[in-house]
């Protein structure tokens, strides 16, 4: 956490920016990163802003503007050097600083996220899952053990985890959040379709899937 903070500051100071990179730019940079990973798999050395822009159906001036925010020097005559651009994005967004998290709720969504290997390569290390269902406890998903929820406070403290990915059914969301707050969890990535009530010192990130879909469908014909 401290390292991440320091990284932000370095970015702010070294580029003379008055504010950190916006959410929209971060989102686009991770999509560029996906594309660059695919290029590396295909052994392609160079990529142009136009190629990235075409894949995302956005303007290439936008791509160049975003890339200019990075400390990226790998621009060749035929485009950006794929490997260097990828590393620049990783450095800027702090992929290398591993964040440890638990998944609470070992249903379909929790299991899907536990299997989402992409998380690891982006610095999100899911250590374990938690559930209250006796039939699930002791089993594992993608090599991660499902523990009884009552074990969470102790394991969080021991392993220094303060991030929880919350994937319990809607009706248990608030009571689980209360339990997480008591267990000193500081960040909740909330996949439940509920707005959680938590104290100010706890941050909730709402993964508002329905909101995302509505943005999508609202813009369908625009």
59 binds a copy of itself (CB under 8 A): no
62 binds a copy of itself (CB under 8 A): no
Q: Quick check: 91 and 14 in contact, CB under 8 A? A: no
220 binds a copy of itself (CB under 8 A): yes
Both tokens assigned to 163: 């991030």
Q: Applying CB under 8 A, which part among 19-27, 77-85, 126-134, 148-156 lies near a copy of itself?
A: 19-27
Q: How far is the CB of 162 from a copy of itself (least distance, A)?
A: 10
What number of other Cβ atoms are within 10 A of residue 19's Cβ?
6
Distance CA 167, CA 108 (A): 9
- DSSP class per residue in 56-113: HTS-HHHHHHHHHTS----EETTEEEHHHHHHHHHHHHTTTS-EEEEEE--SHHHHHH
133 binds a copy of itself (CB under 8 A): no
Both tokens assigned to 12: 């702010």
Q: Which is nearer to a copy of itself, 133 or 154 (CB)?
A: 133
Q: Which is nearer to a copy of itself, 31 or 181 (CB)?
A: 31
Residues that bind a copy of itself (CB under 8 A): 1-2, 4-5, 8, 20-21, 23, 26-27, 29-31, 34-35, 38, 55-57, 93-95, 99, 107-109, 111-113, 115-116, 118-119, 122-124, 167, 170, 187, 189, 193-197, 200, 203-222
């Amino acid at each position: 956490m401290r390292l991440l903070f320091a990284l932000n500051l370095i970015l702010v100071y070294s580029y003379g920016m008055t504010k950190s990179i916006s959410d929209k730019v971060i989102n686009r940079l991770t999509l560029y990163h996906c594309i660059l990973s695919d290029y590396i798999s295909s052994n392609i050395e160079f990529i142009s802003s136009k190629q990235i822009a075409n894949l995302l159906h956005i303007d290439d001036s936008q791509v160049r503007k975003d890339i200019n925010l990075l400390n990226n020097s790998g621009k060749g005559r035929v485009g950006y050097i794929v490997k260097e651009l990828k590393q620049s994005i990783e450095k800027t967004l702090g992929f290398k600083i591993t964040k440890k998290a638990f998944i609470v709720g070992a249903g379909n969504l929790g299991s899907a996220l536990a299997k989402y290997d992409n998380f690891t390569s982006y610095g999100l290390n899911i250590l374990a899952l938690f559930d209250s269902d006796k039939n699930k406890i002791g089993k594992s998903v993608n090599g991660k053990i499902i523990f009884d929820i009552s074990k969470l406070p102790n394991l969080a403290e021991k392993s220094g985890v303060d991030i929880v990915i919350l994937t319990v059914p809607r009706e248990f969301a608030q009571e689980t959040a209360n339990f997480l707050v008591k267990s000193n969890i500081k960040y909740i990535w909330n996949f439940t379709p509920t707005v959680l009530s938590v104290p100010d010192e706890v941050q909730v990130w709402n993964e508002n899937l329905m909101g995302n879909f509505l943005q999508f469908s609202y813009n369908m014909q625009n």
